[in-house]
């Protein structure tokens, strides 16, 4: 006689050390195998979009910081570009260069958190400490520039709040020199670690057609083997002036689009970001960073969708103006929000122990999922 079996519902979160924030996953299990997963989000919902409608355009900038708090520079960058597009203004070249430098530093800092905490999820404590040590140097660079370590309010519509401090370029060059060997160290410590590979290779495979249909972007899309980077494919700011590669996943340790690929793309991207910063530091022109900041922002009636390649993927701002000083509608298409939507597909057929590995590899920030 066959044994009677029954599916079981298991709640993971909202308070769970490996969910990287307040997220509840409702897992449907058959034994230890996952047959369905329902993410429940909204625990950090702060009505960002409603707030925007009561603010003037420049007042929104500090709010955008608080969405993806690990990549605040890039949130501001995206918002500033969207409003500038709506206004039809050009910013001085020096501003563009500084934005790119800051953005790429932010990408490295954000990837360091992603990589460090991913190791932590899998059970490797040391890389986390190494990553945070290096990230600290980037944060103090930011702190010296604009006074804040995480929530900067630095990139404004039409310009920047401050110019670079006089010693910035030297310190940035020092950092590049310091950081290059650290990537190698990280590879020895984590990337090629047998235990790490066993936990991540061939786990959480994301096929490319599914990824595109689900709107997956950024490192997660590239890990599935698609060369797509908005910095190259739909260039904004001055990104078309730099020479850099777009790394894609090729299944080195397992299958294309598995957790290891998604992890390793981030390691490779840090190297590319260093290349961009190096070139930008060489080419940066002189100029005034506040000259193009409009006194009064009052765009004509219309709407715009503008997107940037945030460390996590495509960050889009849909901004609509009704001709007044307040935005009529601001909608944020955040990469984390979109990536979480695929969890049901991605988790099916894997074991509970893999949930942590898969969730960590897509690198979400709940502050931006919930907004």
Q: Which is nearer to other proteins, 146 or 265 (CB)?
A: 265
DSSP 3-state assignment of 35? strand
- 3-state percent breakdown (helix, strand, coil) of the chain, nearest 5: 50, 15, 35
Instruction: Determine contact, residues 145/154, Cβ cutoff 8 Å.
Output: yes
Q: Would you count residue 298 as binding other proteins (CB under 8 A)?
A: no
- Using CB under 8 A as the binding rule, whether residue 228 contacts other proteins is answered as yes
Whether residue 170 contacts residue 99, with contact meaning beta carbons closer than 8 Å, is answered with no
Q: Does 214 bind other proteins (CB under 8 A)?
A: yes
- Asked if 267 touches other proteins (CB under 8 A), the answer is no
Name the DSSP letter for residue 201. Answer: T
Q: Token digits for 354?
A: 């893999």
Choose, by CB under 8 A, the member of 25, 41, 95, 284 that binds other proteins: 41
Among 8, 329, 348, 349, binds other proteins (CB under 8 A): 329
Identity of the residue, 168 or 328, whose beta carbon is nearer to other proteins in the bound complex: 328
Q: Which of 13, 316, 335, 367 binds other proteins (CB under 8 A)?
A: 316
Adjacency order of strands within the sheet including 24-30: 8-12, 24-30, 33-40
Q: Interface with other proteins includes 132 (CB under 8 A)?
A: no
Closest CA to 170 of 146, 148, 144: 144
Ranges within 48-107 binding other proteins (CB under 8 A): 49-50, 85-86, 88
As separate numbers, helices (DSSP H) first and strands (DSSP E) second, the chain gives 15, 8
Q: Which is nearer to other proteins, 82 or 146 (CB)?
A: 82
337 binds other proteins (CB under 8 A): yes
What is the maximal distance between C-alpha atoms in the chain?
Answer: 82
- The tokens describing 96, both together, are 């563009």
Separation between Cα atoms, residue 362 and residue 114, nearest integer Å: 9
Count residues contacting other proteins (CB under 8 A)?
Answer: 41
Instruction: Select 146 or 230, whichever has its Cβ closest to other proteins.
Output: 230
CB atoms within 10 A of CB 320: 17
Nearer residue to other proteins within complex by CB, 131 or 338: 338
For residue 202, what are its two tokens?
Answer: 């061939």
331 binds other proteins, rule: CB under 8 A = yes
Does 152 interact with other proteins (rule: CB under 8 A)? Answer: no
Q: Contact at 8 Å (CB) between 292 and 159?
A: yes
182, 318, 325, 352: residue in contact with other proteins (rule CB under 8 A): 318
Q: Which is nearer to other proteins, 121 or 229 (CB)?
A: 229
Chain residues in the site for other proteins (CB under 8 A): 41-42, 45, 47, 49-50, 85-86, 88, 210, 212-215, 226, 228, 233-234, 299-305, 307, 314, 316, 318, 320, 328-329, 331, 333, 337-338, 340-342, 370-371
């Amino acid at each position: 006689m066959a044994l009677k079996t029954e599916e079981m519902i298991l709640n993971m979160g909202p308070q769970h050390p490996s969910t990287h924030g307040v997220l509840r996953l409702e897992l449907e299990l058959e034994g230890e195998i996952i047959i369905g997963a329902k993410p429940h989000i909204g625990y950090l919902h702060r009505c960002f979009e409603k707030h925007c409608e009561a603010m003037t355009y420049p007042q929104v900038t500090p709010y955008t910081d608080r969405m993806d708090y690990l990549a605040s520079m890039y949130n501001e960058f995206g918002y500033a570009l969207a409003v500038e597009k709506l206004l039809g203004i050009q910013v001085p070249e020096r501003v563009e260069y500084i934005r790119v430098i800051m953005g790429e530093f932010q990408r490295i800092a954000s990837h360091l958190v992603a990589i460090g905490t991913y190791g932590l999820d899998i059970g490797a404590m040391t890389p986390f400490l190494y990553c945070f040590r290096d990230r600290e140097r980037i944060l103090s660079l930011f702190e010296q520039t604009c006074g804040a370590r995480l929530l900067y309010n630095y990139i404004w519509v039409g310009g920047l709040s401050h110019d670079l401090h006089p010693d910035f370029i030297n310190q940035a060059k020092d950092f590049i020199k310091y950081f290059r060997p650290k990537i190698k160290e990280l590879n020895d410590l984590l990337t090629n670690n047998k235990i790490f590979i066993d936990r991540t290779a061939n786990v959480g495979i994301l096929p490319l057609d599914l990824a595109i249909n689900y709107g997956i972007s950024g490192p997660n899309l590239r890990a599935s083997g698609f060369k797509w980077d908005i910095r190259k494919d739909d260039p904004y700011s001055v990104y078309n002036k730099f020479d850099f590669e777009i790394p894609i996943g090729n299944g080195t340790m397992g299958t294309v689009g598995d957790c290891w690929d998604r992890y390793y793309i981030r390691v490779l991207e840090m190297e590319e970001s260093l290349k961009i910063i190096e070139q930008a530091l060489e080419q940066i022109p002189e100029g005034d960073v506040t000259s193009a900041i409009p006194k009064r922002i009052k765009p004509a009636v219309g709407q715009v969708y503008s997107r940037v390649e945030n460390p996590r993927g495509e960050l889009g701002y849909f901004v609509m103006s009704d001709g007044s000083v307040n935005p009529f509608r601001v909608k944020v298409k955040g990469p984390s929000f979109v990536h979480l939507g695929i969890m049901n597909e991605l988790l099916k057929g894997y074991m509970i122990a893999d949930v942590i590995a898969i969730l960590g590899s897509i690198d979400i920030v709940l502050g931006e999922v919930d907004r």
